[in-house]
Amino acid sequence: MLKRSSIPPYPQFYELFYTYATGVNPSLNNRINAIFRNGTSPSSDLAETLYEEFLKSDVDDRLTNVSERMTARIDAVHDAIDTAMTSATAYSGSLESATDDLEQALSPESFRALASRLLNETRRMQDTNRALEQQLQSSRDDIAALQRDLDDARRESMLDPLTKIANRKSFDEGMDVAIADASRTGDPLCLMMLDIDHFKNFNDTYGHQTGDQVLRLVAMLLKSNIKGKDLAARYGGEELVAILPSTDVEGAVIVAENIRKAIQAKELLKRSTNEKLGRITASFGVAAFQPSDTPASLIERADRCLYAAKHAGRNRVVSEKDLEGSLRRAAG
């Protein structure tokens, strides 16, 4: 759909159409379907508008909204239960009274009146129970929708709002889990760090909006070149990282090289003016987990490799093995 509409596959546009394809946001689907029915051809500007309206929102506001709706729904259920309990108490009293009456000798007229009274009380109780059932069914549906909203907000809270990959909080949690798993299983684990070369100069020359598009592009290329268990994250500024479980240094270097080449192959075009901005490159550092590592020590070694890559001329991948080889050559 993106290709057919000539919309660039930036993360936010991919998320928009992915959400449409899954059907989890009925309001978004209704809007896009109406656009298609009207024969309107989607554009980048229209996609940006839809994204801003349906998907981009403040997580705290969304959580507050979910909390308020949940509270209102719980209050409604409590009210319905209170009403049912009041009716049940009254009905119980009517049955006790009828039991006392039945223990006495009743005339046919009195017996008919008692039966009519009990029938009316039973019908009222049935009506109350039906209302409670409807209220509970409505609450189940509402709570299911609230759960989906809460899950969406929780996922969004773990994403970097610009690049739509994991944020620093999510990365920190992912590192703890990955190191714990590697320590338990003995499987290899690598951390890859990348930094966009001369990004500050690029920002100063072409503006922060264009710089943001570059960050989104690099994040998309990073995420699309790693496998399911891996975690891509924005570490800070123009630095991105990837946690690579079950991957040794040689495999991590191959992944980094693939990403480096993919970034270098992209020729940038400023959408507003069609001005060619040339190409960008990135430098990479790769470190492997050691049994004595903490998250901080693994990050420090990967950062050291990244610094070496930039110091050696940028647009290259440097791993710990490369640094060890350089030290051995210098010593020899």
Task: Find all residues with CB under 8 Å of 271, minimum gap 6, and list them.
Answer: 8, 44, 213
Distance CA 231, CA 165 (A): 9
Active-site position among 238, 239, 250, 324: 238
Q: Do residues 223 and 16 make contact, with C-beta atoms less than 8 angstroms apart? A: no
| Token code pair at residue 41 | 């051809």
Task: Find all residues with CB under 8 Å of 12, minimum gap 6, and list them.
Answer: 48, 51, 55, 56, 164, 216
Written as one string, the DSSP assignment of 227-248 is: -TT-EEEEEETTEEEEEEET--
Q: Let me know if 156 is a catalytic residue.
A: no
| Token code pair at residue 190 | 């690598």
Distance CA 151, CA 263 (A): 32
Q: Do residues 288 and 190 make contact, with C-beta atoms less than 8 angstroms apart? A: yes
| Token code pair at residue 179 | 């190191």
Written as one string, the DSSP assignment of 138-198 is: HHHHHHHHHHHHHHHHHHHHTB-TTT-SB-HHHHHHHHHHHHHHHHHH---EEEEEEEETT
Distance CA 25, CA 156 (A): 15
| Token code pair at residue 13 | 């546009």
Task: Find all residues with CB under 8 Å of 20, minimum gap 6, and list them.
Answer: 1, 28, 29, 32
Residue 8, classed as helix, strand or coil, is coil
Distance CA 254, CA 191 (A): 13
Q: Mind telling me the catalytic residues? A: 238
